[in-house]
Structure 1
Amino acid sequence: MNQFLGVAGLALIILVAAFCVVAWLAIRSRNMQVWLGSYLRRRPRAAVKGPTHIMFCFVDHYEPAWGRVDLETQRRRVDRWHTGYPAMASRHRDADGRPPQHTFFYPEEEYLPEHLDKIAGLCAQGYGEIEIHLHHDNDTPENFCATISRFNELLHARHGALSRDPQTGQLRFGFIHGNWSLDNSRADGRWCGLNNELILLRELGCYADFTLPSAPSETQTRTINAIYYATDDPCCPKSHNTGTPVKVGGTASGDLMIVQGPLGLDWKRRRKLIMPRIENSDVRHSCPPTPERVDAWVRTGIHVEGRPDWIFIKIHTHGTQERDMDTLLGDPMHAMHDHLETTYNDGQRHVLHYVTSREMYNIIKAAEAGMQGNPARYRDFELPPPPGVARWTSPALSPDRATEAVADIPGME
């Protein structure tokens, strides 16, 4: 009997050890060891009195030439958005009577005036804004600065994009790094080349980076589900791995604000019925924006420290890939917005605000400055709208007047 128990115990130990090895290999295969500890140590958001305001921001790595396709294919992709986005977005409104906002992070290396003209047209109708995206490799500080400066001026002068800082006159922009490799964060050093990229971005006028989360890529940071200031170490890569949280009553510190989207584990969608999938805020055909995912984004509760009643949800996509457009411009997107507008916009427990990346940054800065009340009134708190974007009527107006203001925007019903 004792011998049997000994064999059974040994078998159990071997089984547990094998499971641990398999689990660790699965974790390593998706680079989860980088951030899993932070996820397990997360603290719940503090309880709030009154409604929770939700700032919902959809950013797009908008790449018409993805896959190195010909010009006609690029045109079809952009035209699909030019007609399909207003048709989708015009059916939805937030608490301020405003339609969903889409921030097009356009890649410098794919610039074609005709594509930007069409996207700028959407922005002029009140559907979003244009910001900066860049894929580069083995770059130099001199070339990087020249590239970004030239593209900034081109977007502003030709397409009415980007804001000028009211204090300095400098063009300001939001940034998403191509291939997730902000600040040279790949272990092999590919798809960037600059250990001082955060410093360079700050000097060029970048107001915040919106690249993360990047899981399961190795470029994902240890810091997750946060809004923070990162300080660059020009001698080392991935300086944004950690940083100083943005907090009420605080001041800007470090070199660049990092605005992250929700990152976690999805136990309802398991791989091989065992391992949870990674919830990384990505929206596409293979991971549609279901009500369950929306609920998870809200529960994550990303906020400025000391302001738990204002939460920020930033999700992302690669909008020009054909396999995903039916999701991004069709029924799954309607279902996402319907869920947001019915479940998280009752005016008692939740109030919904659709924002661009610039507006999200402005509201974050307003929270940092201790502003209170309806956060939507701070959409232009620090940086004004770009010249080519339809100005929004103050949300301080009555709901009826706000709805009238939407109707005044060209292209709106």
Structure 2
Amino acid sequence: MDRWLLPWLKDSFLRHKAPITDVMLSVCDHFEPFHHTDKAGAMRRMQEWHTRLPEILATGVDHDGQTPRHTFFYPVEQYDADVLQSLAELCTSSRNEVEIHLHHHNDTAENFCAAIELGKVNLRHHGLLGSSPDGQPVFGFIHGNWALDHSDPAGRGCGVRGELAMLKQSGCYADLTMPSAPHPTQAPIVNSLYYSQSTLAGCSHHRGTPVKVLAGGSPSLREKPDHLLLVQGPLMLDFTRRKWGLMPRVENSDLGPANPPTVRRFHQWRKADISVRGAENWCFIKLHTHGAPEKNHPSVIGEPRRRFHAELLQLAAQEGFRLHYVSSREMVNILHAAEDGHAAGDAGLWRDYLYAPPACLQKA
């Protein structure tokens, strides 16, 4: 907490508040079917998702007529053709998407870039990953073990400095790793959408420039090859839940086995006011989970999540905000639309603003 508590307190006082008209809700899953199991176990987990995810989708639809979204960040170093084909079929039937997750340790820049390129090729083989306007593959990224840009104080889980520029030049549209609290890799910037300039000093994402509505004709930092967009999820103290009846607990937007999604938590996430500066009426809520292991199934494909969506749809109708279930790609597209001055109306119009859907969805 020594890294993020004071920045959170300062940000809470200084952040501009505005009535929220649109809420973008995205679930970004560090999806690891092989976690503590073999291939047979991984395939059983995939079957569980095929069986139970439709129950979540049947809960209802958002303002745009879209069912709940779930973005699978698959660890590309664990590629298996059968597992990926099963995941691609799940995405096609559920209108969900796959992005890149990567674990590495004591690595080199050359190996890191090669792993990303091979991951892109493998995922595209299954019809996955979105495309830039010129048809090149683009991807969202979550760093394994939270250690983006060699940020673990113990030196574990990475080994490569300057990762942000390497990711950007490989087609990464945004990093979505944070928040990582209570892990020591947590950045001192919280509840933000911002651009970071990559440096060889490491921990580049510990500094950055907030995304803001561009003044007429001003260039966006997204055009710079050494600047990467960082999309964070909510992180704060939750005074509605207290340890020993006294100390507030940490809300870190994780859908873990003891913390399923609830409307009570949604109110906390919304209070983070994560938005583009100058377009605070559009609120971006990025949640995360590790949804492949069985212990997390209740939070992500069980009754608690089904109930959450049912209650959330009721809340949106009662309070009059437009709820948009979005993939990470759609969230970033809408973010860039706000940056470019389009936040006066319905955010759902901008789901495919810059980056096109993966082939598996275009054929569906």
Scaled by the length of structure 1, what TM-score is found? 0.83
C-alpha distance in structure 2 between counterparts of 1:164 and 1:266, whole Å: 38
Q: CA deviation at 1:44?
A: 4.5
Q: CA deviation at 1:276?
A: 1.8
Report the AA paired with residue 133 of structure 2.
Answer: P
1:162 to 89, 112, 129: 129
C-alpha distance in structure 2 between counterparts of 1:122 and 1:338, whole Å: 22
Per-residue CA deviations over 1:234-269 (Å, capped at 9, x if unaligned) read 1x1211012000000161255100000000011232
Three-state SS of the structure 1 residue aligned to 2:149 is helix
Per-residue CA deviations over 1:34-73 (Å, capped at 9, x if unaligned) read 011111112354233xx61000001100000112x12221
> CA 1:336/1:370 → structure 2, altered by over 3 Å: closer, same or farther?
same
2:348 to 363, 376, 388: 376
Matched residue, 1:248: 213
Per-residue CA deviations over 1:58-92 (Å, capped at 9, x if unaligned) read 1100000112x122211111111112112221222
Matched residue, 2:137: 171
Matched residue, 1:217: 183
For the pair shown, the structure with the greater C-alpha radius of gyration is 1
Matched residue, 1:57: 26
Percent identical residues? 44
Three-state SS of the structure 1 residue aligned to 2:181 is coil
Per-residue CA deviations over 1:330-352 (Å, capped at 9, x if unaligned) read 21101211222111245x63110
C-alpha distance in structure 2 between counterparts of 1:265 and 1:339, whole Å: 23
Matched residue, 1:194: 160
CA contact (8 A) 1:225 1:300 kept: yes
Three-state SS of the structure 2 residue aligned to 1:247 is coil
1:94 aligns with 2:62: yes
Matched residue, 2:313: 341
Matched residue, 1:232: 198
Report the AA paired with residue 362 of structure 1.
Answer: N
2:329 to 334, 348, 358: 358
Scaled by the length of structure 2, what TM-score is found? 0.94
C-alpha distance in structure 2 between counterparts of 1:289 and 1:37, whole Å: 26
The range that moved more, 268-277 or 96-105, is 268-277
Matches within 5 A, 1:319-334: 319-334=291-306
**Moved runs in structure 1, 4+ residues, more than 6 A?**
none
Q: CA RMSD in A?
A: 1.5
1:106 aligns with 2:74: yes
Report the AA paired with residue 300 of structure 2.
Answer: L
1:301 aligns with 2:273: yes
Which residues of structure 1 form unaligned runs of 5+?
Answer: 1-31, 392-408
Q: CA deviation at 1:300?
A: 1.4
Per-residue CA deviations over 1:183-210 (Å, capped at 9, x if unaligned) read 0001121100111111110111100001
C-alpha distance in structure 1 between counterparts of 2:268 and 2:202, whole Å: 31
C-alpha distance in structure 2 between counterparts of 1:165 and 1:292, whole Å: 37
Report the AA paired with residue 240 of structure 1.
Answer: H
C-alpha distance in structure 2 between counterparts of 1:322 and 1:350, whole Å: 34
CA contact (8 A) 2:54 2:94 kept: no
CA contact (8 A) 1:148 1:204 kept: yes
Matches within 5 A, 1:180-191: 180-191=146-157
Q: CA deviation at 1:292?
A: 1.0
CA contact (8 A) 1:55 1:355 kept: yes
CA contact (8 A) 2:77 2:119 kept: no
Three-state SS of the structure 2 residue aligned to 1:376 is helix
CA contact (8 A) 1:291 1:336 kept: yes
Report the AA paired with residue 46 of structure 1.
Answer: K
Per-residue CA deviations over 1:344-383 (Å, capped at 9, x if unaligned) read 245x631100000000010011011111321111100001
The range that moved more, 277-286 or 320-329, is 320-329
CA contact (8 A) 2:120 2:137 kept: yes
C-alpha distance in structure 2 between counterparts of 1:368 and 1:47, whole Å: 16
Q: How many residues are paired up?
A: 354
Q: CA deviation at 1:151?
A: 1.1
Three-state SS of the structure 2 residue aligned to 1:184 is coil
1:130 aligns with 2:98: yes
Matched residue, 1:38: 7
Report the AA paired with residue 171 of structure 1.
Answer: P
Report the AA paired with residue 243 of structure 1.
Answer: G
Per-residue CA deviations over 1:100-126 (Å, capped at 9, x if unaligned) read 011000001221111111111122124
C-alpha distance in structure 2 between counterparts of 1:212 and 1:144, whole Å: 20
Matched residue, 1:403: none
Three-state SS of the structure 1 residue aligned to 2:360 is coil
Q: CA deviation at 1:390?
A: 4.6
